[in-house]
């Protein structure tokens, strides 16, 4: 809702639009920038429709690719055959990654034993976790942003669930969302950037960012840069 208003406020002054940061906000202005013939580049909007028009470009990978990659990791590398999923059914980022993950799991011979959705702004995930606890799932895939990931992992731990978690790039920053870091121990998520990578160019960026903002850059900061 807010994204088109923000775009309309600056459209007459801009030749190039960088954004939006997240998929749903990006998709909300794609047709507007196309109608106005503005070059639009999203650093981190990974849903497929973020680049549906000829003027829309992205820096990052796509949600289908994220879902497929994490499914291959789960089955081929970690050996999981039965998986559960918790996703935001009102968010194209989350549902797009979920759809690709589920399809790839099945293609690889695995089984999705639970596919639990939730709505935007939900903070209680006990119902979804209870259903998953009653299955023989070996892991839980959570294609959400870090806020929901922090709540889900915390609530799972409170239920005594010890299943390993995985997610997409939206998890970047989850460690700041949980009081007890143990609830995300062993979790794996996909990201285009790692601040501890020793590469000289990355470390130069990290040092400059920390000096400017007194914080460690995450993948959103790196993609934007």
Tens of pLDDT, residues 16-51: 999 999 999 999 999 999 999 999 999 999 999 999
Chain-centroid distance of CA 173 in Å reads: 11
pLDDT band at 139 (very low <50, low <70, confident <90, very high): very high
pLDDT band at 13 (very low <50, low <70, confident <90, very high): very high
pLDDT at 167: 98
Distance CA 183, CA 70 (A): 20
pLDDT band at 145 (very low <50, low <70, confident <90, very high): very high
pLDDT at 222: 95
Average pLDDT of the residues of the chain:
96
Average pLDDT over residues 165-180: 94
Burial of 178 from C-beta contacts in 10 A (0-12 / 13-18 / 19+)? middle
pLDDT at 210: 98
Average pLDDT over residues 146-162: 97
- pTM (two decimals): 0.88
Beta strands in 36-171 (DSSP E): 39-42, 56-58, 82-88, 111-118, 139-141, 165-167
pLDDT band at 217 (very low <50, low <70, confident <90, very high): very high
Of the CA atoms within 13 Å of residue 14, those in its CB half-sphere come to 17
pLDDT at 26: 97
Distance CA 73, CA 94 (A): 18
Distance CA 84, CA 74 (A): 11
Distance CA 138, CA 165 (A): 10
Distance CA 26, CA 4 (A): 9
Average pLDDT over residues 134-162: 97
């Amino acid at each position: 809702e807010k994204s088109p208003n923000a775009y309309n406020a600056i459209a007459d002054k801009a030749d190039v639009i960088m954004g939006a940061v997240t998929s749903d906000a990006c998709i909300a202005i794609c047709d507007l920038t196309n109608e106005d013939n503005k070059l639009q580049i999203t650093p981190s909007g990974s849903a497929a429709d973020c680049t549906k028009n000829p003027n829309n470009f992205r820096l990052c990978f796509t949600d289908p690719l994220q879902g497929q990659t994490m499914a291959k990791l789960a089955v081929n590398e970690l050996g999981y055959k039965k998986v559960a999923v918790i996703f935001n059914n009102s968010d194209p980022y989350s549902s797009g990654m979920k759809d690709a993950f589920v399809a790839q799991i099945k293609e690889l011979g695995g089984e999705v034993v639970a596919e639990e959705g939730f709505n935007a702004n939900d903070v209680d995930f006990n119902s979804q976790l209870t259903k998953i606890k009653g299955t023989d799932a070996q892991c839980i895939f959570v294609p959400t942003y870090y806020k929901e990931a922090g709540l889900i992992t915390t609530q799972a731990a409170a239920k005594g669930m010890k299943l390993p978690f995985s997610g997409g790039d939206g998890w970047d920053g989850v460690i700041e969302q949980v009081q007890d870091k143990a609830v995300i121990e062993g979790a794996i998520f996909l990201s285009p950037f790692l601040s501890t990578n020793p590469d000289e160019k990355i470390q130069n960026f990290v040092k400059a960012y920390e000096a400017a903002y007194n914080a460690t850059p995450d993948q959103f900061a790196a993609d934007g840069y």
